[in-house]
Amino acid sequence: STTEQTAVQYDRDADGIVTLTLDDPTASANTMNELYLESMAAAVQRLYDEQDDVTGVVIASAKKTFFAGGNLKNMVTATKDDAGSVFAMGEAVKAGLRKLEKFPKPVVAAINGAALGGGFEICLATNHRIAVDDDKVLIGLPESTLGLLPGGGGVTRVVRLLGLQQGLMDVLLPGTQFKPSAAKEKGLVDELVATREELVPAAKAWIKANPDESQNPWDKPGYKMPGGNPKSPAIAAFLPAFPALLRKQTKGALYQAPRAILSAAVEGASVDFETASRIESRYLTNLIVNQGSKNMIQAFFFDLQAINAGKLRPQGIEPYKAVKVGVLGAGMMGAGIAYSCARAGMEVVLKDVSAEGAAKGKAYSESLNAKAVSRGKLTEEKSQALLDRITPTADPADLAGCDLVIEAVFEDPALKQQVFAEIAPYVNADALLCSNTSTLPITELATGVDRPADFIGLHFFSPVDKMPLVEIIKGKETSDVALAKAYDVVQQIRKTPIVVNDSRGFYTSRVIGTMVNEGLAMLAEGVHPVSIERAGTQDGYPVGPLQLSDELNMELMAKIGKASKDAVERDGGTYTPHPGEAVVAKMIEIGRPSRLKGAGFYEYVDGKRTGVWSGLAETFPVAAESIPFADIKDRLLFVEAIETAKCFEEGVIESAAAANIGSIMGIGFPALTGGAAQFMTGYENAEGQIGLGAFVARADELAEKYGDRFRPTAYLRDLAASGGSFPA
């Protein structure tokens, strides 16, 4: 019976050390599937059967990653009715790991690649963890970022390994994915080796040197939890601060996972291991069967993975790697784009009208680097090499040999077309031509260049060095090759691309504009400004709509509004102003348009917010009676969701993954919703009904009370009625 398939190879060497090699023959990565569970159970049983001949165990992997973790596909389909089987399944997996942990010989994890989530939970059940110290290895428990908790023993063991405070703050709540050296610093791994070849020998050497180290600290008599258990005075004093800290971190937004992790950790810390483990399983089961984790898993696992794998990129086009990029305009955006490109290894020619202007743009990279060097994140050498790759200039001839151009001059179509004409004679004949315009339709801009097929929108977000998203905009004439190249460029600079079709405001600006305007409309209606801001942050937005208006700059908003109005009227339509626009006009009139100008809805000193503007109540009187707080919260979310549905309907956006990732990573749509498309398809109302139907019903309610901009269109209504969904 040696021909039976197994995902765990069993090899005993002459010293009696057994190497269990994780190697699923049915997949490219090891996952927690049935075959693995059976194979691992059989391997552990064999260890016990042959115990007298075994001196120790090494857990190794034959795949690129050590172990890829749980099966998220099964998790997202589990409903509340499945709670019993989900719990039982979890307990079965954990019983296997516990049996391995209790094996009376030393067990070592040999971590050759990413060990995250369920993968790292296997490692936590061993007595010693050794990892290869290179950038292919990542270690941690990122479950909280998927709305889950590490329920394969992760909470229970990390709390016992590091203590409540460190375990929660450093590992469990943030869900950080650590590089090997950081993981060692935190105490998650015990030993590092430089190469893969040294890994198993190092594991065997440890076993030989420590033949009796077969018990984890928490299984030894007299074990004391690091930092103390919940009853010890230090922890007891510290515990009450946790929920408050959590609220502060999430600004009151209803992230379920961190709360569950906190509860499982604290409750588990005051009981024995087996009870703690069961408590952990219960909290995980509860998260799995609820909608919140499904929404986050959709966005942060499935959508992100699909986009990273090229989902939105035309197929069959050779990969492209940009070598020399010309950045036109060395202002705020151009300077950031130049830095990101140079950081990714490209040669950058940074052009502005004057040499001084261009040098000022390069100075931005110098200051970012200086900070990184002083923090020990970057060596002097690498910093210098990066800066050497940026050539500031005022001379278009310096763009000779560029295979990529990214334009970021003032938002003026004539100027943009002029700068493209200026560099055209110098750059490569097939250079990709990108504009970072945030509002000008790409198809129109493309009429001004001689190669419209190579012209495309590459919409970065500010600050460029921090923001992870780039919105790629296809013009009517843009070729598939240009789109594929643009996709590759975005990934080359280590950002996430979404792809949209041309439209005024594209996808992201269009959607965020509705949320800001809704906040302003509520202010005009007499909703208390503090309620508006708090509703925003409790929804899970990074900031409320009033603060966002100050940041986005109401003068700019007015300009964009005017351009939309002109465009509608040019096409013979009638423009209906949004109720928020009057508030913008008023704020400009009284000289409080933005943080940039030092005055908006908030007061600023040296660009720093110091408080709400004291004249606010007088300018926008608060109504005697308030609308329900739940409505204030929903109005912000729904207005963005409805606009997203319209973008689908108009073909501006063609993929739910793009809408989800674009809205979360580009414009701060609450991560806990899973993004603007998932918010609709995964919407759960107060009665526990889930889906587009429930969303449409609530939108109709809002439309009755607050205006037709909440009214779902026939497209959305039909989609809901037919049980359909947005294209994936």
Q: Note the residues at the interface with ligand NAD (CB under 6 A).
A: 328-334, 351-353, 357, 408-411, 415, 419, 436-438, 459-460, 462
Ranges assigned E (strand) in 289-382 = 324-328, 347-351
- CB–CB of 210/128 below 8 Å? yes
Distance CA 70, CA 64 (A): 17
Residue number, 329 or 561, with CB nearest to ligand NAD: 329
Contacts 24+ apart (CB under 8 A), 585-591: 585/558, 586/619, 587/549, 587/554, 588/554, 588/555, 588/558, 590/619
Residue number, 335 or 546, with CB nearest to ligand NAD: 335
DSSP codes joined into one string, 177-241: EE-HHHHHHHTS-SEEESSGGGHHHHHHHHHHH-TT--S-GGGSTT---TT--TTSHHHHHHTTH
Phi then psi dihedrals of residue 33, to 5 deg: -100, 180
Residue number, 130 or 419, with CB nearest to ligand NAD: 419
- CB–CB of 334/408 below 8 Å? yes
Q: Shortest distance, CB of residue 419 to ligand NAD, whole angstroms?
A: 5
Distance CA 654, CA 647 (A): 8
Q: Shortest distance, CB of residue 491 to ligand NAD, whole angstroms?
A: 19
Q: Shortest distance, CB of residue 345 to ligand NAD, whole angstroms?
A: 23
- CB–CB of 127/216 below 8 Å? yes
Q: Shortest distance, CB of residue 367 to ligand NAD, whole angstroms?
A: 16
Distance CA 109, CA 187 (A): 14
Between helices 714-721 and 692-706, what is the axis angle to 10°? 150
Q: Shortest distance, CB of residue 422 to ligand NAD, whole angstroms?
A: 7
- CB–CB of 111/129 below 8 Å? yes
Residue from 637, 428, 445 nearest 537 by CA: 637
Q: Shortest distance, CB of residue 504 to ligand NAD, whole angstroms?
A: 13
Strands 177-178 and 139-140: antiparallel
Q: Shortest distance, CB of residue 341 to ligand NAD, whole angstroms?
A: 15
- CB–CB of 625/470 below 8 Å? no
Q: Shortest distance, CB of residue 275 to ligand NAD, whole angstroms?
A: 53
3-state secondary structure 119-178: HHHHHHCCCEEEEECCCCCCEECHHHHHCCCCCCCHHHHHHHHHCHHHHHHHHHCCCCEE
CA dist 427 → 144, 400, 402, 413, 433 (Å): 47, 5, 5, 21, 10
Distance CA 518, CA 532 (A): 10
Which residue, judged by CB position, is nearest to ligand NAD in the bound state? 331
Hunting for tokens 């700068």 — which residue is that? 419
Distance CA 513, CA 313 (A): 27
Q: Shortest distance, CB of residue 437 to ligand NAD, whole angstroms?
A: 4
Residue number, 121 or 398, with CB nearest to ligand NAD: 398
- Residues of 531-562 as b/e, b for ≥16 C-beta within 10 angstroms? bbbbbbbbbbbebbbbbbbbbbbbebbbebbe
Residue number, 54 or 557, with CB nearest to ligand NAD: 557
Q: Shortest distance, CB of residue 544 to ligand NAD, whole angstroms?
A: 19
Residue number, 119 or 593, with CB nearest to ligand NAD: 593
Residue number, 162 or 665, with CB nearest to ligand NAD: 665
CA dist 725 → 293, 356, 717 (Å): 19, 53, 11
Residue number, 271 or 424, with CB nearest to ligand NAD: 424
For 611, residues 6+ apart whose C-beta sits below 8 A from its C-beta are 602, 603
DSSP SS3 for 406? strand
Q: Shortest distance, CB of residue 520 to ligand NAD, whole angstroms?
A: 19
- CB–CB of 286/75 below 8 Å? no
The strand pairing partners of 140, in sequence order, are 116, 177
DSSP SS3 for 349? strand
Q: Shortest distance, CB of residue 186 to ligand NAD, whole angstroms?
A: 36
Q: Shortest distance, CB of residue 313 to ligand NAD, whole angstroms?
A: 22
Residue 414, both tokens:
């004539």
Residue number, 127 or 437, with CB nearest to ligand NAD: 437
Distance CA 166, CA 331 (A): 42
Strand order in the sheet with 177-178: 115-116, 139-140, 177-178
Q: Shortest distance, CB of residue 355 to ligand NAD, whole angstroms?
A: 11
Q: Shortest distance, CB of residue 445 to ligand NAD, whole angstroms?
A: 10
Q: Shortest distance, CB of residue 337 to ligand NAD, whole angstroms?
A: 9
